[in-house]
Amino acid sequence: MGKEVNGVSRSRFEMFSNNDEAVINKKLPKELLLRIFSFLDVVTLCRCAQVSRSWNVLALDGSNWQRIDLFDFQRDIEGRVVENISKRCGGFLRKLSLRGCLGVGDSALRTFAHNCRNIELLSLNGCTKITDSTCNSLSKFCPKLKHLDLASCTSITNLSLKALSEGCPLLEQLNISWCDQVTKDGIQALVRCCPGLKGLFLKGCTQLEDEALQHIGAHCPELVTLNLQTCSVSHSYLLFIKRQLF
């Protein structure tokens, strides 16, 4: 490989002048074409990749795949798709939404975490196949993670929160709504090591009681949003925590 220009090797750029006679490829600098491609959505990028060999290189360059939302394709997304995306994007990927992708499990997310270590926002809302193993992988490989949505991932337990507390100290938003196996012990482990939490969504975590709120109040000085719908907390203690935090 030759010297890289904006993430694309010089040898790849050479194919434009050598093999592609399209006017647009002659008139526009390849760096500018790559910049234009960066504004396209996933579907359009895939279509552009089929136009020519040179456009395939540009469309599939990892720098164009920093933000991906696969919600519209959830029925078609299986683990191998996530694995292939992670290998293509690598360290470029910052935001990924797999909301509703029921076919994605721990194995695919282990590969994802290993390849996409700069991920900052990850939505696994409704990915019911995942377990604590996924959070262990995120803890091990994704220290820059800030926003994580695990809502309705009902196999998640305290072990996930303990793992996240150890490897993802930059967490700002965590949604574990309807993860009803989580107890005060998991909350305690999480908040002690993630002091920058600004949003914590615990709706449907029916095992949480007043003691969990005590830990949140003591360790989350930056908290702005706290959802405790259907949790078994006393009204008086909730008002106390509200005054303490907000």
Domains by residue range for the chain, with CATH: 22-64 (1.20.1280), 66-245 (3.80.10.10)
Beta bridge partners of 147: 121, 173
Look at residue 3 and tell me whether its pLDDT is greater than 90: no
Which residues contact residue 43 at a Cβ distance below 8 angstroms, ignoring those fewer than 6 apart? Answer: none
pLDDT band at residue 226 under the 50/70/90 scheme: very high
CA pair distance 122, 153, nearest whole angstrom: 13
Mean pLDDT (whole number) for 1-17: 47
- Amino acid 114 reads H
Look at residue 141 and tell me whether its pLDDT is greater than 70: yes
Say what the pLDDT of residue 163 is.
98
**Digit-coded pLDDT (tens) for 87-120:** 989 999 999 999 999 999 999 999 999 999 999 9
pLDDT band at residue 174 under the 50/70/90 scheme: very high
CA pair distance 196, 206, nearest whole angstrom: 25
Mean pLDDT (whole number) for 23-34: 79
Say what the pLDDT of residue 207 is.
94
Round the average pLDDT of the chain to a whole number and report it: 87
Q: Which residue, 138, 129, 204, is CA-closest to 170?
A: 138
Q: Which residue, 182, 171, 191, 184, is CA-closest to 212?
A: 184
Look at residue 11 and tell me whether its pLDDT is greater than 60: no
Q: Which residue, 137, 49, 149, 65, is CA-closest to 99?
A: 149
Q: Which helix (H) or strand (E) holds 225?
A: strand 225-227
CA pair distance 84, 24, nearest whole angstrom: 30
Look at residue 201 and tell me whether its pLDDT is greater than 80: yes
- Amino acid 4 reads E
Q: What are phi and psi of 230, to 5 degrees?
A: 70, 5
Q: Which residue, 176, 136, 174, is CA-closest to 153?
A: 176
CA pair distance 244, 1, nearest whole angstrom: 58
Mean pLDDT (whole number) for 143-159: 98
Q: Which residue, 197, 200, 206, is CA-closest to 179?
A: 206
- Which string of DSSP letters, residue by residue, matches 3-18? -EETTEEHHHHHHHHH
The first and second tokens of residue 167, run together, are 């490897």
Contact by Cβ (8 Å): 223, 195: no
45 compared with 22, residue with greater pLDDT: 45
Mean pLDDT (whole number) for 226-240: 74
**At which residue do the structure tokens 């700069």 appear?**
118
Look at residue 240 and tell me whether its pLDDT is greater than 80: no
3-state secondary structure 110-122: HHHHHHCCCCCEE
Q: What is the pTM of this model?
A: 0.83
CA pair distance 113, 174, nearest whole angstrom: 17
pLDDT band at residue 15 under the 50/70/90 scheme: very low
